[in-house]
A and B are shown apart, each in its own frame.
Chain A
Amino acid sequence: MLVIACLKQVPDTTQVQIDPVTNTLVRDGIPFIVNPYDTHALEETLRLKYSHGLKSVALSMGPPNAEATLRKALALGVDRSILLSDRAYGGADTLSTSNVLAAAIRKLGESEEVGLVFCGKQTIDGDTAQVGPGIAVRLGFSQLTLVDRIEKLDLDAKTITVRRKLEGRYEIVEARLPAMITVVRELNRPRYPTVPMRLASAKAEVESWSNEQLQLDVNSVGLKGSPTWVSRIFSPERQEGEIIGDGMNDPVAAARLLLDRLVQGDMLSV
């Protein structure tokens, strides 16, 4: 049985800026990282590989340089790493992204049964949390989002019980396999690669599938298969604030001045 982790390579968002002249993202020189939530998806995949003897696969859709992410997955111990890359896949929104990932999972399922697919809760660039659900419903898998604990996995009965972390409450849910699970940070603590594994991974093969392998209708992938598009991109606006008093040398006076402002502006209920 296969357990699959979906990994997205994302720009380190603390470095992202907008070019004030062209109003586009400055992409040059931004370091790429594995989406932080996806490192937890990968960790859970590896744990199940070792605890339940499942075969593990890492998948990523992206440009050729996303190979780096998949190589890291190999260094951590996944059995196979597959990059889904094709010119036709560029400019994808979540609908066409889940189409490609679901097709790859379906294809893997032709030779071995897929039991579980792990995704991150969301990415730190697109931030939508929509790709996981898109994959689940396309494949008819049980959908378990925001999972912070796996309570029980019964491969004979083909069921899984998890805890979901929602606003102000937890849900304990049992579902039939196969299932698509999105994970939150609390689920586990990702491991680091050992030196021998890192060395071995440098030689290991990252497989690459293009649309020749997946055979998707080119109108259903990439930009063409995306109903949403970005019409404008801009920096969040900020209003000018006021620095009050000289807090360094006279904090008491500054506190008093601040309080005056709040009282004048009728901002206090006291």
Chain B
Amino acid sequence: EEAALREKLAAYRGVWVFIEQTEGEAAKVSWELLGKGKELAAARNCPLSAVVMGDQVEHLCRQAMGYGAETVYLMDAPVLRHYRTEAYQKSLCALVEKYKPEVILMGATGLGRDLAGVVATVLATGLTADCTGLSIDKGNLMQTRPAFGGNIMATIVCDKFRPQMSTVRPHVMPMPEFDASLKGEIVREPVPVAEDEVQVKVLDILMDKGGSKVDIAGAEFIISGGRGMMAKENFGLLEELAEVLGGVVGASRSAVDAGWMPQDRQVGQTGKTVRPKVYIACGISGAIQHLVGMQDSDVVIAINRDPEAPIFEVASYGIVGDLFQVIPSLTAKLKALKGARSGA
């Protein structure tokens, strides 16, 4: 039985990264995964490949190579123009059955999770959700992920089935360097789905202009406010600080629910995961659902008047005090510093 299992597993080789794209533009998490995938492939002594699917998306193959893919499997056809579960599932499953990769990584985005769940079910294999850590141990992928709203971490294994599939949280794996001199091979594959087999039609795509166009997920400096801000008008204090720092303003869910900030600024479990250079939490208590969205920031600064607030447990630097006194003097001193530097 042992031997049969070993033989079954040995038929699978290689690390794959699914390149997520909308309108021909790749999701950044796909490149982050190629960076991580490179490491895993080295540990398994096997090649790193990318899977590109869409309509007229060959340009993404070049990009994938620059981020380290040695082979790029390309499925390019009008039926794949918009992401639709059924069409993408059939295409990806066909590819997996043909080439038998050992590991498949996808972004834990809306699209990635929609696709990964069906593909794993059809392939009857394991899928670990929303990973924040991946490594190889005794030939198996050790998949570490937060569960219970980030209260605990769990390491998941799938040692008797292949491929091992994970979705990985965006902004957690570092972005690899792009190297235009890297070369690879494009393998074109036929798309095994016809338009009339697909039960779903995308009628329209609306870019979200509801809130602000600010993308907090990509910012290097984030100044977030919570219930301690007391009122919508007070967010002006944070905007001012953000402007001097060259950052953006984020919020806790309480601040969003109170209508002080738009939903797209929410950081946390049900908002965005961010990983800026500096995250400043102002009047935020640090509930676990907030922490899971920002605790991987390089530097966390907390300003809170309650010394017992859990936010201090994840803070690199904390000030116990009244934010209405601390923030304005921080902004003033920064302005002075900036002025002195540009004057010098």
A231 x B326 contact (CB < 8 A): no
Taken together as a complex, chains A and B put the C-alpha atoms of A128 and B167 apart, in Å, by 9
A168 x B200 contact (CB < 8 A): no
* A127 in complex: contacting residue of B22, B129, B333, CB < 8 Å: B129
Q: Min CB distance, B171 to chain A, in Å?
A: 12
Taken together as a complex, chains A and B put the C-alpha atoms of A259 and B280 apart, in Å, by 12
Known contacts: A14-B149, A267-B278. The answer to whether A256 contacts B157 by CB under 8 A is no
Which residues from 167 to 215 on chain B have a C-beta closer than 8 Å to any C-beta of chain A? 199-208, 215
* A233 in complex: contacting residue of B27, B153, B158, B312, CB < 8 Å: B153
Known contacts: A17-B151, A229-B156, A262-B278. The answer to whether A255 contacts B129 by CB under 8 A is no
A130 beta carbon closer than 8 Å to chain B:
yes
A143 x B147 contact (CB < 8 A): no
Known contacts: A18-B152, A267-B277. The answer to whether A133 contacts B316 by CB under 8 A is no
Taken together as a complex, chains A and B put the C-alpha atoms of A236 and B296 apart, in Å, by 11
A126 x B207 contact (CB < 8 A): no
Interface stretch, picked from B37-45, B61-69, B117-125, B230-238, is B117-125
A244 x B318 contact (CB < 8 A): yes
With a cutoff of 8 Å between Cβ atoms, the chain B residues found around residue A145 in the complex are 110, 113-114
B154 beta carbon closer than 8 Å to chain A:
yes
With a cutoff of 8 Å between Cβ atoms, the chain B residues found around residue A146 in the complex are 110, 114
B127 x A228 contact (CB < 8 A): yes
Q: Min CB distance, A186 to chain B, in Å?
A: 8
B97 beta carbon closer than 8 Å to chain A:
no
With a cutoff of 8 Å between Cβ atoms, the chain B residues found around residue A137 in the complex are 89, 117-118, 121-122
Which residues from 86 to 127 on chain B have a C-beta closer than 8 Å to any C-beta of chain A? 86, 89, 109-111, 113-114, 116-118, 120-122, 124-127
Q: How large is the interface on A (under 10, 10 to 19, 20 to 34, 35 or more residues)?
A: 35 or more
A136 beta carbon closer than 8 Å to chain B:
yes
A258 x B85 contact (CB < 8 A): no
A138 x B117 contact (CB < 8 A): no
* A267 in complex: contacting residue of B22, B125, B199, B299, CB < 8 Å: B299
Known contacts: A167-B109, A185-B270, A259-B333. The answer to whether A94 contacts B147 by CB under 8 A is no
* A174 in complex: contacting residue of B145, B203, B215, CB < 8 Å: B203
Residue of B nearest to A186 (CB): B263
A134 x B121 contact (CB < 8 A): yes
Residue of B nearest to A166 (CB): B110
B330 x A259 contact (CB < 8 A): yes
Known contacts: A133-B117, A173-B200. The answer to whether A127 contacts B156 by CB under 8 A is no
Could you name 10 residue pairs across A and B whose Cβ atoms are closer than 8 Å?
A: A93-B126, A127-B129, A127-B148, A127-B149, A130-B117, A144-B200, A170-B206, A243-B317, A248-B320, A268-B334
- Measured CB to CB, the residues of A under 8 A from B are 11, 13-14, 16-18, 25, 93-95, 98, 124-134, 136-138, 142-146, 161, 164-176, 185, 226-236, 238-239, 241-248, 251-252, 254-256, 258-259, 261-263, 265, 267-270
